[in-house]
Amino acid sequence: MTMLKNLAASVASRWAGPSREMPTRSLAVWAGVLAVTLCGAADGMAADLAASAARASVRAEDAKRHVAALADDALEGRAAGSRGGRAAGTYLVDEFERIGIAPAGDEGGFYQRFGTMRNVLGMLRGSDPQASQEVVVIGAHYDHVGYGTPSNSYGPTGYIHNGADDNASGVSGLLEVAEACMLLPKRPRRTIVFALWDGEEVNLLGSRHFVKQRPLPLAHHRLAFSLNLDMIGRLRAQRLEVYGSRSAVGLRRAVAAANLPTNLELAFSWEYSEDSDHFPFLDAGVPTLMFHTGLHDEYHRPSDDTHLVNFAGIEPIASLALETLLAVADAEEPPVFREACREEREVDRRRLEAEAQPAPPKRWGLGTREDQGDPTAPIVVRVTPETPAARGGVLIGDRLLAINDQPLVNQADMVRKLGDAPDEVTVTIDRQGRLLSLQLVATP
């Protein structure tokens, strides 16, 4: 940046300085324009480099350091309100201070206390005077089950349950996202809250308390969106489970777009369950997502240890969380909660996908249905063999996003666009979070 600015200044002085005989007045004007342009380009280049460096700060090595610290035997399984849980809270506050996050807890500190438990809260104030009054939350619970009891362990009890995946992995991902946010050259428009919940293993007490009674720094802010990271340490076959995409129109598309650099296989679920810290937000009508890599044989057992965590897998999940969070934080308008998600389940999705729905002209070989959760992305429910759709690689379950690079408004718009299209079209689809472009050549 300094080199480009010096070059710009040199050009300007050579053609506009008092000791220089300028060929024409217009040349001096253009020299000034060039100087300003080069300075602007330098600043833009520096900002782009800083943004890239911020994103590159999400690293598997750092995630491993956090998991190893939180899942150490010295913390005795981090039971909510225990001495190990308090030690974990102290570690997390130290990390927030190291990163440079502002406190968002009670009395000017990072803790939000409730009973013997403590949430750890930090924030990055938004840059837009109005939008900064809206809060996007990224959260992960840091408590686990201590030595285990018959009610919270699959055994054996009496041994330290380190909870490396549940949920030191989610906490490590959040810390990586938080550090990247603090390194960005420009703050997002909305305020971001980094929340580490206590008491998740005790009926979601920490997140419930925050939703009902926010600390003074956030008391007058509106909750616009939340993202929960719970058990993201066992990525297998690049498959990430995504819950809550039905809670607002466009969330699925936002996650799919954010997934372009990471190219994970996204398994979107319609389940609406009271099983993690995303639920209190959904219950309060806040659009919410949860990322999760699935249960395993070590769940709530003493064997959930650090050496079993897929640290290389945490890195792309944290990167996806970062891009999703920033997309919402910088959006022109925040997502709007969709009440119908409360009643939707996986069985409904399977039933709807099995039903025959109106299809576009038969020459393409497609059957689709409109998704009320995201009408801009009709779902393919039928592909007729030996047709353009089949030959082009369209699969049942794909979502149509655009025809010849023209975004779709709804299913009727898709039918119209395909009906008006020439004999060869490019369709943009979302396949489990991957955006693909397929060429369809119509039958004569």
Instruction: Point out the domain boundary residue: 279, 311, 340.
Output: 340
Structural Rg of the chain based on CA atoms? 26
Residue 429 lies in a domain: yes
Contact 240, 291 (CB under 8 A): yes
Q: How many domains, the chain?
A: 3
Claim to verify: residue 310 and residue 383 sit in the same structural domain: no
Residue 341 contacts by C-beta under 8 Å, 6 or more apart in sequence?
244, 246, 247, 270, 272, 282, 373
Claim to verify: residue 135 and residue 250 sit in the same structural domain: yes
Claim to verify: residue 286 and residue 334 sit in the same structural domain: yes
Residue 349 lies in a domain: no
Claim to verify: residue 33 and residue 129 sit in the same structural domain: no
Claim to verify: residue 43 and residue 107 sit in the same structural domain: no
Residue 46 lies in a domain: yes
Tell me what pLDDT residue 11 has.
30
Half-sphere exposure of 431 (CA within 13 A, CB side): 12
Claim to verify: residue 425 and residue 332 sit in the same structural domain: no
Residue 70's domain is classified under what CATH number? Answer: 3.40.630.10
Claim to verify: residue 258 and residue 176 sit in the same structural domain: yes
Claim to verify: residue 280 and residue 328 sit in the same structural domain: yes
Contact 383, 394 (CB under 8 A): yes
Residue 350 lies in a domain: no
Tell me what pLDDT residue 28 has.
46
Residue 156 lies in a domain: yes
Residue 23 contacts by C-beta under 8 Å, 6 or more apart in sequence?
none
Claim to verify: residue 68 and residue 42 sit in the same structural domain: no
Instruction: Enter the tokens of residue 438.
Output: 């397929």
Residue 220 lies in a domain: yes
Phi-psi sector, 40: left (phi>0), alpha (psi -120 to 50), beta: alpha
- Report the alpha-carbon distance of residue 26 to residue 261 in Å, rounded: 46
Instruction: Enter the tokens of residue 99.
Output: 């990163």
- Range of 412's domain? 355-441
Contact 379, 397 (CB under 8 A): yes
| pLDDT tens-digit profile, the chain (444 residues) | 443 344 334 433 433 444 344 344 444 444 554 555 555 666 778 888 989 999 999 999 999 999 999 999 999 999 999 999 999 999 999 999 999 999 999 999 999 999 999 999 999 999 999 999 999 999 999 999 999 999 999 999 999 999 999 999 999 999 999 999 999 999 999 999 999 999 999 999 999 999 999 999 999 999 999 999 999 999 999 999 999 999 999 999 999 999 999 999 999 999 999 999 999 999 999 999 999 999 999 999 999 999 999 999 999 999 999 999 999 999 999 999 999 999 999 888 888 777 655 555 558 988 999 888 888 999 999 999 999 999 999 999 999 999 999 999 998 899 889 888 888 999 999 999 999 999 999 866
Claim to verify: residue 145 and residue 268 sit in the same structural domain: yes
Tell me what pLDDT residue 371 has.
87
Tell me what pLDDT residue 267 has.
95
Claim to verify: residue 164 and residue 232 sit in the same structural domain: yes
Tell me what pLDDT residue 42 has.
64
Claim to verify: residue 190 and residue 250 sit in the same structural domain: yes
- Report the alpha-carbon distance of residue 232 to residue 295 in Å, rounded: 10
Instruction: Enter the tokens of residue 216.
Output: 């003074």
Residue 346 lies in a domain: no
Residue 76 lies in a domain: yes
Residue 425's domain is classified under what CATH number? Answer: 2.30.42.10
Tell me what pLDDT residue 359 has.
52
364 alpha carbon, distance to own chain's centre: 35
